Structure 1
Amino acid sequence: MQAVEILERLVGFPSVVGTPNGEIVGWIRHYLQSHGIVATEIAGPEGDRSNLFVTIGPRETPGYILSGHMDVVPAAEGGWSSDPFRLRAETGRLYGRGTTDMKGFLAVVLAAVPALAAARLRRPIHLAFSYDEEAGCRGVPHMIARLPELCARPLGVIIGEPSGMRAIRAHKGKAAARLTVRGRSGHSSRPDQGLNAIHAITEILACASAEAERLTQGPFDPVFEPPYSSLQVGTLKGGQAVNIIPDSCEAEFEARAISGIDPATLLAPLRAMADALPQRGFQSEWRELSAYPALSLAADAPLAHLLSELTGTEPLAAVSYGTEAGLFQRAGMDAIICGPGDIARAHRPDEFILASELLACQAMIEALARHCIA
């Protein structure tokens, strides 16, 4: 099957983040089996979704991982010109949810399987397909934990997120959390008899604003835009009516950290304030929504040099969006981003990838195969 045909199949699976992914996993496994390749299915604790790991070549020899996620963001927003889960081709563009982020990469990788299986690879090429990346990289840690028993330590991991087929060496880390505060309702004329949850959470919002301003003063890393870590309040919900004391309020916070800083530490002052609320009669619940570390691959790393050779261009220093690459690096593996498509087209109506971008990705994988044969 050609990459476009495979992409049509993959887009047809509405593998939205946070939902069961058995259908897309089953199709990929069957496709691999038809080419004599056995995939290891690594179930997550949710019980209804799985990662897939594949080795082509000698598993006892260090090789390279091609990594991507099977989930996509929802497509319920308006503005789509056609069914988002049905591939539409038009003047070199292939439209559909996930075409760029990142089923296009998966399709090219799967299309290369017959040739990789027929090649006499001296170094293996592994495929690592994860779930729920769009919810903060929730699936891939379960696969990374299993890698020591599945393969020799890889020489490098190529994350196929959309990068215009130019390798990227770094991105920020991220942590997100939801705080729920519960007080006591009552009539607004008797505030002495209630506990206003919005008032309580307002103090934490003020702290978040102050911390966000403080981070603009550094430390700095000039490869990023902006060159400092950041923090924001992303959502705020609470109250029923103006004359009712609000008994609950919820806020979501997000921090993005430059290399060398644990993003969770940026949220620590907010959590400390939340943990102190029960002393004043409130209930508080702090729930981590997502967390992944920054990626920082040295410019002179062998993997960076390899991607320069495979793509014919020098890697970019950094991007603003995050990926699973930092998790692989934290586990002791060099990682880099390189995949087809443009991140600016992701998470929006009429998402598309160019057929020419799929061909460029195919050329990179063919070059990697030659490298693993030499």
Structure 2
Amino acid sequence: MSDVQQILADLVAFPSVCRTPNGAIVAYVREHLARHGIAAQIIPGPEGDRSNLFATLGPREVPGYILSAHLDVVPAPAAGWTGDPFRLRRAGDRLIGRGAVDMKGFVACLLATLPEIGRDLQRPLHIALSYDEEVGCVGVRHLIARLPEFCAPPLGCIVGEPSDLHPVLRHKGKVAGRLIVRGRAGHSSRPDLAENAVHHAADLVGLVRDLHERLSREGPFHPAFEPPASTLQVGVIAGGTSVNVVPDQCAIDWEARAIPGTDPMALHAALEEAIAAWLAPLQAEGRPVQVESEVLSGYPALDLPDHADLRAMAEDLSGREARGAVSFGTEAGLYQAAGIPAIICGPGSIAQAHKPDEFIAAADLDACCAMLRRLAARLR
């Protein structure tokens, strides 16, 4: 294996699944940086068993660029895999393993090129590695909050999510929530004496669908996206214990994807308003129906202007034209919300992520390493 492939194999071997401790992989990265004389800041999260990592190549006191990635991966259930998900293997040009493309491939490129990209920089490169990105961009928030302690205000951020090395300017924002409907249990032979929470939950699913359809008809619209409007959908519904028991509880997990210019929380507020209007007449009749609402996760949209300097730089470095928008979300919107221009540009295809036998092509790693060398040369 080449150096970058060996480092990727090392990284894949850490089963750093989201919502689990990540101390081992953080220690590996920290030790790798230390061997090249680079000190890393470890930024623990409130969970107590997960941390972010931040390191600087070059002078900290002048503005530079952040290279951002996450160390967590989605789970890898056995079904569909043709080998151990946490042991990198090669099939032709494909390097197969959980996280190979999303997004340990980019991290491997960063670590493999350290001896070259860290030399004689007049402006710094910052390495920012986060945890629990896959469950709502959780860890990076704590890292971003502490950036003023670690470096001068950055000029920009490149988030190395898989984009076939095409710079990406925009993605939708997101909010995910849970609704818990509470009614009154009873025997199914006397539903008139109970309050069926699953039936009421079906009405709330209809409210989510209705709001989605209204946005699809009326907008606002953004032509860079497919679909061009904000969206809502229900992903999980769970309630009841037996067919002969009227259920007293039902939970609904839903999400909204908001185009740039629409606050995801505004969609949450619109849904809560519709639920309140639906619930009011039931409670006025004295019926024991309640709805609890919880926000599970969320992040803002990314919306880098077409004329941004960061776009021109990323196109020059990657040698590939920018793409207007992608459908998946990233940490880039959070960097932008913090006042740091951000763009997505990383190796491999998102089409290979989150599936059995996830892979990245060896040639994609080589192309990303070349891009990082060009970035470092620009900053010397």
TM-score, length-normalised on structure 1? 0.96
Q: Is 1:241–2:242 an aligned residue pair?
A: yes
Q: Which residue of 1 aligns with 2:179?
A: 179
Equivalent AA in structure 2 for residue 125 of structure 1: L
How far 1:183 moved relative to its partner? 2.2
Contact residue 169 and residue 311 of structure 2 kept, 8 A: yes
Letter in 1 for 2:333: G
Answer whether contact 1:204 1:270 (CA < 8 A) is retained: no
* Residue in 2 that maps onto 1:162: 162
The DSSP-based 3-state class of the residue aligned with 2:34 is helix
Q: Work out the CA distance in 1 between the residues paired with 2:274 and 2:78.
A: 36
Q: Contact 1:72/1:101 (CA < 8 Å) preserved in 2?
A: yes
1:119-130 to 2 correspondences below 5 Å: 119-130=119-130
2:208 counterpart residue number: 208
Q: How does 1:45-64 map to 2 (within 5 A)?
A: 45-64=46-65
- Rounded to whole Å, the distance in 2 between the matches of 1:142 and 1:283 is 34
- The CA deviation at 1:77 is 4.4
1:229-261 per-residue CA deviation (whole Å, 9 max, x = no partner) reads: 111111111112222110110111110011100
Tell me which residue corresponds to 1:346. Answer: 353
1:313 and 2:314 aligned:
no
Which letter maps to 2:350?
I
Contact persistence 2:117–2:372 (CA under 8 A): no
Q: 2:329 maps to what in 1?
A: 322
- Report what 1:230 is aligned to: 231
Of 344, 364, 371, the match for 1:364: 371
Where 1:360 maps in the other structure, the secondary structure is helix
SS in 2 for 1:179: strand
The match for 1:334 among 336, 341, 344 is 341
Q: How many residues align?
A: 372
* 1:91 and 2:92 matched: yes
- Are the aligned partners of 2:167 and 2:315 in contact in 1 as well (CA < 8 Å)? yes
SS of residue paired to 1:310: helix
SS in structure 2 at match of 1:313: coil
Partners of 2:155 and 2:17 lie apart in 1 by 31
Kindly state the Cα deviation for residue 130 of structure 1 after the two structures are TM-superposed. Answer: 0.4
Q: Which amino acid aligns with 1:211?
A: L
RMSD: 1.4
Counterpart in 2 of 1:282? 289
1:41-120 matches, within 5 Å, as 41-117=42-118, 119-120=119-120
Residue type at the aligned position of 1:237 = A
TM-fit CA distance, 1:353:
0.4
The equivalent of 1:219 in structure 2 is 220
Which amino acid in 1 is paired with 2:271? L
Would you say the 8 A contact 1:231–1:253 is kept in 2? yes
Distance 1:204 1:142 in 2: 34
Tell me the distance in 1 between the aligned counterparts of 2:272 and 2:40. 41
**Hey, what's the Cα distance between the residues in 2 that align with 1:201 and 1:352?**
40
Paired AA for residue 92 in structure 2:
T
CA deviation vs aligned residue, 1:174-227 (integer Å, no higher than 9, x gap):
111111222221101222332211122222111111101001121111101111
Aligned CA distance change for structure 1 residues 289 and 124 (closer, same or farther; 3 Å):
same
- 2:207–2:275 contact (8 Å) kept in structure 1: no
Give deviations 1:95-125, integer Å, cap 9, x for gaps.
00000000000000011122233x1100000
Maintained 8 Å contact 2:211/2:271: no
How much has 1:273 moved relative to structure 2? 5.2
**Distance of 2:101 and 2:95 partners within structure 1:** 9
1:297 and 1:180 map into 2 onto residues whose CA distance is 37
Output the amino acid matched with 2:359: F
- CA distance, structure 2, for counterparts of residue 95 and residue 313 of structure 1: 25
Matches within 5 A, 1:19-58: 19-58=20-59
CA contact (8 A) 2:165 2:320 kept: no
Deviation at 1:164, TM superposition (A): 0.3
1:298 aligns with 2:299: no
* One-letter amino acid matched to 1:121: L
- TM-score by structure 2 length? 0.95
- 272-281 or 37-46, larger mean C-alpha shift: 272-281
- State the AA in 1 paired with 2:44: A
- 2:133–2:140: 8 Å Cα contact kept in structure 1? yes
- Structure 1 residue 150 and structure 2 residue 163: aligned? no
C-alpha distance in structure 1 between counterparts of 2:9 and 2:250, whole Å: 43
The answer as to 2:190 corresponding to 1:190 is yes
Identity %: 56
Contact 1:170 1:294 in 2 (8 A): yes
Query: What is the CA-CA distance between 1:283 and the residue it aligns to?
Result: 4.2
CA separation in 2, counterparts of 1:103 and 1:311? 19
Measured in 2, the distance between the counterparts of 1:45 and 1:109 equals: 27
Cα drift, residue 281 of structure 1: 2.6
Aligned mates of 1:272, 1:42 — CA distance in 2:
38
**Cα distance between partner residues in 1 of 2:51 and 2:260:** 30
